[in-house]
Amino acid sequence: MLVLGYRKTIRTEVVDPPSLPARESVEERAGTLHFLPATLQITSELDTEVRKRGIFPVDVYRTVLKFDGAFELAALFGITEPVEDLAFRNLRLSVGISDIRGIVADLKLQVDGEPAYFQPGPESALLSSGIHVPLPLPDLNQPRKIPFSFSLELIGTEALRFIPVGRNTQIEMSSKWPHPGFIGEYLPVERNISGAGFTTTWKTTSIITNLDAMFASCRPSEAPCAAIEARHLGVSLIDPVNNYTLSERATKHSLLFIVLTFAGFFIFEVMKQVRVHPVQYAFVGAGLVVFYLLLISLSEHNGFAVDYLLSSLACITLITTDVRSVFGSTGRALILGAGLSALYGALYCVLNAEDFALLMGSALLFGVLAAAMMLTRKVDWSLQTKPEAS
């Protein structure tokens, strides 16, 4: 936005007491005027990478923002009152940036074809932080259109937001990131998302943003205006299948997984007429719980697929070895171990299914239930519940 300082001289005749000649009282008041661009176009190409903070991954982006637009100033800046006692000074173009530590290089502005360099500080009480460029005062008596263009290279994390301050604003963004989350008050008018990335376009007007009125209401406070900062739009970097998300999904499936494993034990117990002591069930349950602890702890240091394989192999081996001593048969233990391996494999597929996780989980549960019903269709359950003769 353009920020213009002014000083107003207020002259008042004072007659006190009436018997004395009138004298003139002069008071000077300072203030600022703010002008938003008539047109504003921003283009951004977002390059992303994953960095490490200790053992934790952080999604980082680097982007070059290209700004093009124009200010349309009326004669005398649209002031209708007499301007004889008005003095204008310090015209500057201010750009609000929430964290200027993300700026990569020096910035050069083109105003009416003339170069100028940005300086630190927004030079406006309405902006909490940013940069500015001093500009020469234009001819006050003529309406003026001031075109501008500049590029801004930024590094940031998690999200990139804009406040569409133009009377007509258009923002175009593209990236190879396949999982964008569109945030803020205004949704894109066009978007294309695929595995190769996304492209999106926002278009807003002052009719829907009402930022002119918000700036007018914030001026008396002369402080950063939260209402303006809330009128943003942008994109967040979502990683729906990272290690922690997958571990959380696995934990959410834990109850189903433990129940299915115990169901397999119970079916073996019924079909093979082998009594399994509750302590053995407790040991198997403890082994299943340890699987999730191993998975979460290992996934903080390696890839999820490798850690899932190591954790599942360790728990399957532990449970299979214990089952062999319970059932007294290597073959039965291997059958149960193969069933657990298939269950772990199916769970891995469910965890990596971003859009079909619920469908695959429901199909898995239905399949296991159908298999249990088929395997036990010849079991006489009345005999299983009949007490043994003393």
Q: How confident is the model at residue 255 (pLDDT cuts 50, 70, 90)?
A: confident
Looking at the fold, whether 34 and 109 belong to one and the same domain comes out as yes
How far is Cα 268 from Cα 134, in angstroms, rounded to an integer? Answer: 82
Beta bridge partners of 161: 234
- Range of lowest pLDDT (55-59, 139-143, 192-196): 55-59
Looking at the fold, whether 39 and 184 belong to one and the same domain comes out as yes
How far is Cα 297 from Cα 26, in angstroms, rounded to an integer? Answer: 74
Q: Give mean pLDDT, residues 119-140.
A: 86
- Contact between residue 147 and residue 72 where contact means Cβ atoms under 8 Å apart: no
- Range of lowest pLDDT (151-160, 194-203, 219-228): 219-228
- The highest-confidence range among 1-15, 153-167, 232-246, 257-271, by mean pLDDT, is 153-167
Q: Which of 237, 255, 283 is the last residue of a domain?
A: 237
How far is Cα 328 from Cα 258, in angstroms, rounded to an integer? Answer: 23
Looking at residue 103, its amino acid is I
pLDDT value for 148? 93
Looking at the fold, whether 152 and 192 belong to one and the same domain comes out as yes
Q: Is there a domain that residue 255 lies in? A: yes
Looking at the fold, whether 205 and 252 belong to one and the same domain comes out as no
More confident residue, 185 or 335: 185
- Contact between residue 269 and residue 276 where contact means Cβ atoms under 8 Å apart: yes
Residue 217's contacts (CB-CB under 8 Å, 6 or more residues apart) are 227
Q: Distances from the Cα of 51 to the Cαs of 55, 189, 337, in angstroms?
A: 10, 32, 39
How far is Cα 348 from Cα 285, in angstroms, rounded to an integer? Answer: 19
Q: Pick from 187, 218, 219: which is nearest to 203 by CA?
A: 187
Q: How confident is the model at residue 280 (pLDDT cuts 50, 70, 90)?
A: confident
Q: Pick from 128, 131, 108: which is nearest to 120 by CA?
A: 131
More confident residue, 56 or 155: 155
- Contact between residue 167 and residue 206 where contact means Cβ atoms under 8 Å apart: yes
- Contact between residue 125 and residue 224 where contact means Cβ atoms under 8 Å apart: yes
Looking at the fold, whether 267 and 300 belong to one and the same domain comes out as yes
Q: Is there a domain that residue 18 lies in? A: no
b (16+ CB within 10 A) / e for 71-96: bebeeebeeeeeeeeeebeebbbbbb
Q: How confident is the model at residue 390 (pLDDT cuts 50, 70, 90)?
A: very low
Looking at the fold, whether 143 and 52 belong to one and the same domain comes out as yes
- Contact between residue 150 and residue 173 where contact means Cβ atoms under 8 Å apart: no
Q: Is there a domain that residue 116 lies in? A: yes
Q: What are phi and psi of 239, to 5 degrees?
A: -120, 90
Looking at the fold, whether 204 and 253 belong to one and the same domain comes out as no
Q: Is there a domain that residue 149 lies in? A: yes
Q: Is there a domain that residue 32 lies in? A: yes
Looking at the fold, whether 249 and 370 belong to one and the same domain comes out as yes
- Range of lowest pLDDT (60-74, 209-223, 277-291): 209-223
pLDDT single digits (tens) 74-117: 887 777 776 677 888 889 999 999 888 889 887 888 887 788 88
Q: Is there a domain that residue 71 lies in? A: yes
Helix ranges, 4-91 (H): none
Tokens found for residue 153: 């290279």
Looking at the fold, whether 138 and 68 belong to one and the same domain comes out as yes
> Which domain CATH number covers 79?
2.60.40
How far is Cα 156 from Cα 162, in angstroms, rounded to an integer? Answer: 13
Looking at the fold, whether 166 and 77 belong to one and the same domain comes out as yes
Domain region containing 344 = 243-381
The Cβ-side half-sphere exposure at 66, using a 13 Å CA radius, reads 7
Looking at residue 304, its amino acid is F
Q: Which of 192, 222, 237 is the last residue of a domain?
A: 237
Q: Give mean pLDDT, residues 256-267.
A: 75
Count of C-beta atoms within a 10 Å radius of residue 199: 16
- Contact between residue 13 and residue 24 where contact means Cβ atoms under 8 Å apart: yes
More confident residue, 47 or 16: 47
Dihedral of the alpha carbons of 281, 283, 288, 291, in degrees to the nearest 10: -170
> How many domains are there within the chain?
2
Q: Is there a domain that residue 16 lies in? A: no
Looking at the fold, whether 268 and 203 belong to one and the same domain comes out as no
Tokens found for residue 198: 């996304």
pLDDT single digits (tens) 162-209: 999 999 999 999 999 888 999 999 999 999 998 889 999 999 999 999
Tokens found for residue 15: 């007659």
Looking at the fold, whether 133 and 170 belong to one and the same domain comes out as yes
How far is Cα 150 from Cα 163, in angstroms, rounded to an integer? Answer: 17
Q: Which of 214, 237, 260 is the last residue of a domain?
A: 237
Q: What's the pTM value of the predicted model, to 2 decimals?
A: 0.67
Q: Is there a domain that residue 102 lies in? A: yes
